[in-house]
Structure 1
Amino acid sequence: MRIAVFSDSHDHIANLRRAVLRANREEAELLIHCGDLISPFMLPYLEQFNGPVHAIYGNNAGDRHLIAGRCAASTGKITHHGDHGILVAASWRIAIEHYPKWARSLAASGDFDLVCCGHSHVFQAEWLGRCLLLNPGELLGKDAPPTFALLDTADGSVRQISVGEQLSLDDRDL
C-alpha cells in the first residue's frame, strides 16, 4: 500500500490541490494529514483524493466545530481524529501526532509501526527500532519548497515528493 503523508498546508489551496493530484498520480491509496490544515474550505480539496483521508488538527486548528461537522458530512471519505489519530492500514499500526516531540515518544513506545507528525516544517524519515517516524515537511512552501512523503508499506521505503514551487492561487495548471 502507498500512503501519502501531508502536513502544514496552512490554507495554501494551490499547494494542497497540487499535492492531492500528485498523490493520486503516484497511486497512493491512503492520505494522512498531520495537522495545520486550518480552514474548513480546504476540505473539498482533500476530498479529491482517490482514497480515504485521515486528519488531525495541529496547533493552528482553525474552526474546530466546522471542520468536525464537515468531515462527518463528507460521505465517510475524511476521518477527522481530533488532536491525535490512531488507525491500522496494510497491517501497519499508525499514530498521527502534530508535534515531533510527542511523535518521537510514540515511535519509541514500540506500539506502532508508523508515527506521522508535522509542525517543524522539516522533512524527516527515521527508523526507531521497528517504527518509522515520518515528518513530510510542509505543504505551505514558506520555509522550504512544498513537499509531502510517500510511503510504500511493501518495503518500508519513503520518498519525499516535491509539489513544485509555491504557486499563485490562480495557477491555471491545476
Structure 2
Amino acid sequence: MLIGIMSDTHDNLPAIRKAVDLFNRENVELVIHAGDFVAPFVAWELKKLDAPLKGVFGNNDGERKGLYEALGIYDELIELEADGMKIAVTHGTNEVLVRALARSNLYDVVVVGHTHRYEIREEGRTILVNPGEVCGYVTGVKSVALLDTRKREVRIVNLDTGELLGAMSL
C-alpha cells in the first residue's frame, strides 16, 4: 500500500493543492495528515484526494468542531494498520509522548509533524517520520512523505521541485 503523509498545511491552499495532485498522481491508497490543518476551509482541497484521509489535530487547530464536520478529524492520536505495519500518528507537540510511542516497540512507524522540518530516523525498531511542512512558511521547503508498505520504504519529496529530499528502507 502506498500512503501519502503530510503535516502542517496551515491554510496554504496552493501548497495543499500541490500535495493533493502529487498523491493523486502517485495513486496513494491512504493519506495521513499529522495535524495543523488550521481551518475547516482546507477541506475544499483535501476533499479532492482520490484516497481516504486520516488525521489528527495539531496545536494550531482551533476550529476542531469545524474540522470534525468537514473532514472527520477528532483525535490527537490515532493507530492504523496497513499491510501488517502498525502506524501511530500524533502531531508531535508532546515530545515525551513521541519518544514513548517510538520506544514502545508497538509500532513500525510513528508519524509526527509540528517541527516543520522533514526527518526520517530510527528509534530502535521503529521508524519516526516527519514529512515536514506542506505550507513552506517556516523552512521555505514544501514537503510530504510517501510510505510504501510493500517495498518497506519511506521517501520525502519536495512539492515544488519533485526532488527526493530523503529516503529510508524499513
TM-score category (smaller protein): 0.7 to 0.9
SS at match of 2:78: strand
Q: CA RMSD in A?
A: 1.4
**2:102: which partner in 1?**
107
Partner of 1:117: 112
Matches within 5 A, 1:1-174: 1-72=1-72, 80-99=73-92, 101=95, 102-142=97-137, 143-164=139-160
Cα shift readout 1:24-80 (whole Å, capped 9, x = no counterpart): 1112111000000011000131121111110111000121111112224xxxxxxx2
TM-score by length of 2: 0.87
Distance in 1, matches of 2:157 and 2:23, equals: 9
For structure 1, the residue ranges without an aligned partner over 5 or more in a row are 73-79, 166-174
1:123/1:135 contact within 8 Å kept? yes
Using the TM superposition, give the Cα deviation of residue 81 of structure 1 relative to its aligned residue in structure 2, in angstroms. Answer: 4.0
Gaps of 5+ in 2: 162-170
Q: Distance in 2 between matches of 1:58 and 1:113?
A: 22
| Structure 1 residue 159: Cα displacement | 1.3
Q: Which moved more, 1:154-163 or 1:34-43?
A: 154-163
Equivalent residues of 2:64, 2:74 under 8 A apart? no
Residues paired across the two proteins, number? 158
Give the counterpart letter for 2:91 in structure 1: H
Deviations 1:129-153 (A, max 9, x none): 3211100000111123100011111
What SS does the aligned partner of 1:119 have?
Answer: coil
**What secondary structure is seen at the aligned counterpart in 2 of 1:134?**
strand
Q: What whole-Å deviation, never above 9, does each CA across 1:87-113 have from its counterpart, x for those lacking one? A: 212221111111162223201101111
Identity %: 35
Alignment check: 8 A CA contact 2:9 2:135 kept: yes
